[in-house]
Structure 1
């Protein structure tokens, strides 16, 4: 596979040599593209850099130009593409040119960080910049990259797609933000109860940790304070393989005794400090990914529900729990994949974005992300893996969306958690077979 492939193509590829390497039986090539910041505003000449890595099995280099391309879109939002030597990538690289995209704002692309955002003069300017980093812009980026690498002209999606594979749930196209978060709160309650069934001694341990945090000012090594509500956010781990074990390990090492006095251990606080490093896109744009069109605002929905109908479930106070320290039926519930307005106060790394985040939460002029009519007359083969107990994406919402996508092949399984693709490349193999017709499931 010639290293100068993309330099021959017209389009947005940055000039200069393409960096490449061989490792673990894979050939990787790194590309950087200069793409428009605003795809729908031709008067804006500002560009950003988007990074993509092409991966193919070494033994397929000779016929790489004949192989189809498979582009991977990372969830989140706000996280970079996976490592090139991930299990499913190794498998797919034997059949495809796999393109691992650091979506705009992440990884080696022009990243959104507190440092880069500090160059804007006002929170309003920061917010307007954030607005360019949703899925609609990412899809347009990928089309320009496809046009550049393949050199066969620009085609509007979905004309440029031969098949689509979805893992980790289907976006809730037809449900409100309130419905999505209401179901996610109920799901994390169920997962918390499973956690305590697996580790019953943690019922008392968690109460002890919460009481200590509520009655002491516990500073993290990276700055800021570890509050009870921040500790409760560890429930985010419950939705992926090994997540409950990780939280249990943290609880086991929470305290150390020095000179006859218990205090929070440095090991525990170091681990908790790593939880503080939340990508700005994930924190600030998380609720906006559900804002599908004008007239809809996110309005800190997770916070409203937490302070409203779910307050009695998740609220912690020393006064209330003090009388239940030895009562195994009284549980401290963890929260899940929810972003809260108070995080802009509690997380030192996010504090500079507080005003910007509030502007985005009240914004109502979001463009459409999905076209229900296009989905209803879809002709592109689609296979989706839906995990029955997915803590992050409610099964009922995924099923409703699936019913609106013509021809989708839906595989529902309880074998995997949300991390199924990372845990076993067999997930993608099965989706390949669903599209090729090697195995059957009902077609919507």
Structure 2
């Protein structure tokens, strides 16, 4: 679909930084409304993955947007701290004061605050009418928080690759995810056996040489392993393979290789919130995360082996705040956040068990970012959830399926059948 076939309306709202203190400091939250010119359709709020990434910018041809706007006015929310919603950057965060003040400020940027922003916007746009929510990945976590604390605002909820663990600790979650990443590595090397030696050669070179990426970031073995985050996407294994095709130029790592690595790892400058709040997105009450991904990694010595080199996944390590110039300004704040042991709850399990809002969820069998077993447990906990377990798509199924994943979920809720789990 051509972009010109969509109508787009900008919305900007002034909301409290802390919704429990409505007379205190405020921030701006931005949302883009996408329609086919129909103003009589209900709203569908889209909560995207993250934390720390703005909502997608439609350019035309996105199948899931085409499917969504057939039934809804789609609202693409820049979650607070991202995009045009008072973004968190090294400059803006520095204005909050010292690291302690910065860490306190960032506690207002988790899913609970995003839900409160959403409720503020719903009231402003609809006058109190209910709306639908689509949560992708971290956006699904936010959708379950929404079901926990403000279900009265929801007519229905769709979740794609984002049913969160409800009672597991960050350590539990990383133990499950590291096992999945091991499987992704095995599948990649089975598909591209020549990459075993190629990756090992690069790792040996990095062990014996000081290498900088174009931004000045140190390319260490651990940084190289972070390319494994690619393996969770539908085309990620092929992209990693092509990146490893010709990494050397004589006795040096090739400039093209270094630029390609930089491109794949360049989130820090555009989404510092991802690195600062990734582990806290798993914190659900008393207890510090204490760099959980780093600690749990020690239980998987395979990732420290050179035979073969194993790539990691969606893990944030403290060393990233030392080696990446884009993250260095946040180092002290990040360590304070990791030690913080007082987090507000994100889910109300009793309320979820009594849920009356229709929910349809796609659970990806080999999801590298949201462990399948936890998602299925959550689907069973949220009353009335219809879940679809599929091996047809990876974590990016919503984006790459040309609207098929969203259509399947919409159809599941339109069926005339009682609560239960779809096959």
Answer yes or no: same fold by TM over 0.5.
Answer: yes
SS at match of 2:154: coil
**Partners in 2 of 1:263 and 1:233 — Cα distance?**
21
User: Over residues 155-193 of structure 1, what are the superposed CA-to-partner deviations in whole Å (9 max), with x where a residue is unaligned?
Assistant: 972111110000013111122211110010011011001
User: Does structure 1 residue 373 correspond to structure 2 residue 350?
Assistant: yes
SS at match of 2:77: strand
Using structure 2 for the length normalisation, give the TM-score.
0.91
Which of 256, 275, 285 aligns to 1:283? It is 275
* Cα displacement (A) at 1:428: 0.5
Give the corresponding residue for 2:98.
122
**Partners in 2 of 1:33 and 1:65 — Cα distance?**
20
Give the corresponding residue for 1:7.
none
Which of 10, 16, 23 aligns to 1:36? It is 16
**Partners in 2 of 1:224 and 1:414 — Cα distance?**
37
Which of 388, 391, 399 aligns to 1:422? It is 399
Is this contact kept in 2: 1:410–1:441, CA < 8 A? no
Q: Where does 1:202-213 land on structure 2 (aligned, <5 Å)?
A: 202-213=195-206
User: Over residues 179-212 of structure 1, what are the superposed CA-to-partner deviations in whole Å (9 max), with x where a residue is unaligned?
Assistant: 1100100110110011101110000000000011
Which of 224, 228, 239 aligns to 1:235? It is 228
**Partners in 2 of 1:348 and 1:209 — Cα distance?**
22
**Greater C-alpha radius of gyration:** 1
**Partners in 2 of 1:191 and 1:267 — Cα distance?**
25
User: Does structure 1 residue 298 correspond to structure 2 residue 276?
Assistant: no
Give the corresponding residue for 2:53.
79
**Partners in 2 of 1:215 and 1:195 — Cα distance?**
26
Is this contact kept in 2: 1:135–1:369, CA < 8 A? yes
Task: Label 1:267 to 1:439 Cα distance change in 2 as closer, same or farther (>3 A).
Answer: farther
Task: Label 1:151 to 1:169 Cα distance change in 2 as closer, same or farther (>3 A).
Answer: closer
Which of 232, 239, 246 aligns to 1:246? It is 239
User: Does structure 1 residue 265 correspond to structure 2 residue 254?
Assistant: yes
* Cα displacement (A) at 1:219: 1.4
* Cα displacement (A) at 1:41: 2.2
* Cα displacement (A) at 1:441: 9.0
Structure 1 residue runs of 5 or longer lacking an equivalent are 1-21, 322-329
Q: Where does 1:312-351 land on structure 2 (aligned, <5 Å)?
A: 312-316=301-305, 321=306, 330-351=307-328
Is this contact kept in 2: 1:174–1:401, CA < 8 A? no
Q: CA RMSD in A?
A: 1.8
Structure 2 residue runs of 5 or longer lacking an equivalent are 132-148
Task: Label 1:277 to 1:430 Cα distance change in 2 as closer, same or farther (>3 A).
Answer: closer
**Partners in 1 of 2:358 and 2:107 — Cα distance?**
31
* Cα displacement (A) at 1:302: 0.5
**Partners in 2 of 1:66 and 1:90 — Cα distance?**
17
SS at match of 1:403: helix
Task: Label 1:438 to 1:233 Cα distance change in 2 as closer, same or farther (>3 A).
Answer: farther
Q: Which stretch shifts more, 152-161 or 196-205?
A: 152-161
User: Does structure 1 residue 180 correspond to structure 2 residue 168?
Assistant: no
Q: Where does 1:164-203 land on structure 2 (aligned, <5 Å)?
A: 164-203=157-196
* Cα displacement (A) at 1:223: 1.0
**Partners in 2 of 1:252 and 1:106 — Cα distance?**
35
Give the corresponding residue for 1:111.
87
* Cα displacement (A) at 1:83: 2.5
* Cα displacement (A) at 1:90: 1.5
Is this contact kept in 1: 2:130–2:155, CA < 8 A? no
User: Over residues 231-282 of structure 1, what are the superposed CA-to-partner deviations in whole Å (9 max), with x where a residue is unaligned?
Assistant: 000001100111111111111131112xxxx211111111222314321111
